[in-house]
Amino acid sequence: MRCRPRHTRAAVLGAALLLAGCGAAPHKTAATSTATAGQPAPRCSGRPTIAETEGPYFKAGSPARTSLLQTGMRGTRLVLTGRVLTTRCAPVAGALLDFWQADASGSYDNSGYRLRGHQLTDAGGRFRLTTVVPGEYPGRTQHIHVKVRAPGKPELTTQLYLPGEPGNEQDAIFDPSLLMQVRDAGSGKVATFDFVLG
Ligand SMILES: [Fe+2]
């Protein structure tokens, strides 16, 4: 069964309480990167990527895969590339990234693993995720959840956002340091984001 938050007042209040119960960490960062997928290359600031709430829909045991696309899946295709870096801007090879997100309608799959998957960075610390642009759901702007694990580093749980979305400013968890760089590419979008592990 897939879980889609209901658009009732009670559901919105419930969502607000959930969000209030797991608010974003207040510290800021500016994760930045190298060129990937034809995107411009922001510099690495070396400041750790901020942590944000895991939220209610994380599910352990996601499959290893770099594409979350499945036959019949609706939505705008999104290819996200980037790197996992140290605070000295060195690449972290073999870091595990575990992604999960809502579908284009704002629904999470809480019984299976639709739009959930993990992968490891390559020798250059790089990753590549093919997915769809997530939809909004009550109380939340569009976002992609991720956990990043690397040996000798504390686990990072955070969320990524799309620039220019009207919902960003209404979302109490949204943080501009977690914006992906996004541009249109054909009928889809390409995005970049580098994680810096503290
Ligand atoms: Fe979420």
Read off the CATH number of the domain in which 84 is found: 2.60.130.10
pLDDT at residue number 122: 98
Q: Residue 183 C-alpha to ligand 1 middle, in angstroms?
A: 22
Domain hosting 51: range is 2-197
Number of domains present in the structure of the chain? 1
Q: Residue 141 C-alpha to ligand 1 middle, in angstroms?
A: 9
Residue linked to tokens 């790197």: 83
Q: What is the pTM of this model?
A: 0.82
Q: Residue 69 C-alpha to ligand 1 middle, in angstroms?
A: 18
Q: What is the per-residue pLDDT across 75-118, written as a single tens digit (0 to 9) for each?
A: 999 999 999 999 999 999 999 999 999 999 999 999 999 999 99
Residues of the chain under the 50 pLDDT cut: 1, 3, 5-38
Q: Residue 96 C-alpha to ligand 1 middle, in angstroms?
A: 20
pLDDT at residue number 174: 98
pLDDT at residue number 24: 35
Instruction: List, as one string, the DSSP characters of 91-118.
Output: B-TT-EEEEEE--TTS-EESSS-TTEEE
Q: Residue 88 C-alpha to ligand 1 middle, in angstroms?
A: 30
Q: What is the mean pLDDT of the chain?
A: 85
H or E stretch including 151?
A: none
C-alpha–C-alpha distance, residues 192 and 198, integer Å: 20
Q: Residue 61 C-alpha to ligand 1 middle, in angstroms?
A: 17
